[in-house]
Amino acid sequence: MLQGMGLPAGSAPELWNLEKPDAVRTLHRAYLDAGSLVILTNTFGGNRLKLERAGGLGERTEELGRAAAMLAREEARERAYVAGDMGPTGELMVPLGPLSHKEAVGIFAQQARALAEGGVDLIWIETMTDLDEARAAIEGTQQVTDLPIFCSLSFGRGGRTMMGVTPTLAVKTLSPMGLTAIGGNCGEGVEVMIPVLIEMRAASAQAGGLPRPALIAKPNAGLPYLENGETIYDLGPEDLAARVPHFVELGAQIIGACCGSSPEHVAAIARAIAGCC
Ligand SMILES: [Zn+2]
């Protein structure tokens, strides 16, 4: 969406929280007007490692995170919750790569602290594929704030994340850490969300203990394809919204859309929820 507004490809979207705040505000407003009850801060890649790789912005992690949270807070006011968005570091964890658990905890703690200081209502850790990185993000957040935590992982059509994590293992490992919500986001198309919800609900019931985390379904708008050098996703707003009653039936309580979606997709989802719940 930001690239459509002129953000150069390859440039860190988080920089616009300070340099083009009105563009970020306009997007927040578009999602609020579409009926979003939770909006995410423009900080998906706003951790020190990723910002450093995007043009040496690591030093500005806290400043960019706080600014992002304040922008979203000011637009949402009391009409929606603001989720402080934290995506993966983009670095492989030990033993596959150089990132130690302790270092990862510190990186996520720094980002979560800035988001909390900027006034978010919760922290949303998303698009995770490595269980250890997800754990590090949760631990880092819990070191600096007691805000509620949502955690969603990205699953492929084989029913696992890229790093081989199943929905059952994710629930068994992460839910006991004290999550408010758990589920799937992004991933390979929209159909992957169905086995994810079925497995996660069953694993939650088995794990016992209350309260159980709420279930999240935040799929991409279908699958991407290239058209004239542009990435297009193959599900329109109504096609995506048509899946919503099934997600609700399977126990999803937090429903949204990820890559390839637009405010029109969210508006269609909001209508579908109003029609089925
Ligand atoms: Zn996505």
Ligand 1 midpoint to CA 208 (Å):
30
Centroid of chain to Cα 255: 11
How many Cα atoms are found within 13 Å in the side-chain-facing hemisphere of 188?
11
Tokens of 4: 């459509």
Q: How confident is the model at residue 114 (pLDDT cuts 50, 70, 90)?
A: very high
* Ligand 1 mean position, distance from CA 183 (Å): 13
211 pLDDT more than 90: no
What pLDDT band is residue 167 in, cutting at 50, 70 and 90? Answer: very high
Q: What is the structure's pLDDT at 104?
A: 98
Which residue matches tokens 């043009």? 55
CA of 187 to the centre of ligand 1 (A): 7
Read off the tokens for 209: 């203990």
The pLDDT score that the predictor gives to residue 207 is 78
Q: What is the mean pLDDT of residues 226-234?
A: 89
* 218 CA → ligand 1 middle, Å: 8
Residue 17 has pLDDT above 80, yes or no: yes
What pLDDT shows up at residue 25?
A: 98
| Residue 273 to residues 25, 39, 73, 148, 213, Cα–Cα distance (Å) | 25, 17, 24, 23, 20
pLDDT at 210 over 80: no
pLDDT one-digit tens code per residue, 234-244: 999 999 999 99
pLDDT at residue 154 greater than cutoff 90:
yes
The per-residue DSSP string of 178-243 comes to: T-SEEEEEE-SSSTTHHHHHHHHHHHHHHH--SSPPEEEEEE-SS-EEEETTEEEES--HHHHHTT
- How many angstroms separate the alpha carbon of residue 154 from the centre of ligand 1? 8
CA of 209 to the centre of ligand 1 (A): 31
**pLDDT band at residue 259 using 50, 70 and 90 as cut-offs:** very high
% of the chain surpassing 90 pLDDT: 93
Tell how far the Cα of 113 is from the centroid of ligand 1, in angstroms.
24
What pLDDT is stored for residue 43 in this prediction? 98
For 38-75, what is each residue's pLDDT tens digit?
999 999 999 999 999 998 999 999 999 999 999 999 99
pLDDT > 70 in the chain, percent: 100
**In this model, does residue 277 exceed pLDDT 80?**
no
* Residue that wins the pLDDT comparison between 212 and 215: 215
- Using only C-alpha atoms, what is the Rg of the chain? 18
- Band of the pLDDT at 140, cuts 50, 70, 90? very high
What pLDDT sits at residue 195? 97
**130 Cα–ligand 1 center, Å:** 16
Residue with structure tokens 């631990």?
Answer: 139
Determine the pLDDT at residue 276: 86
Q: What is the pTM of this model?
A: 0.97
- Residue 208: is its pLDDT beyond 80? no
Task: For ligand 1, an ion, list residues with CB under 5 A.
Answer: 186, 258-259
Tell me, in angstroms, the distance from the centre of ligand 1 to residue 126's CA. Answer: 9
230, pLDDT greater than 90: no
Query: What's the chain's average pLDDT?
Result: 96
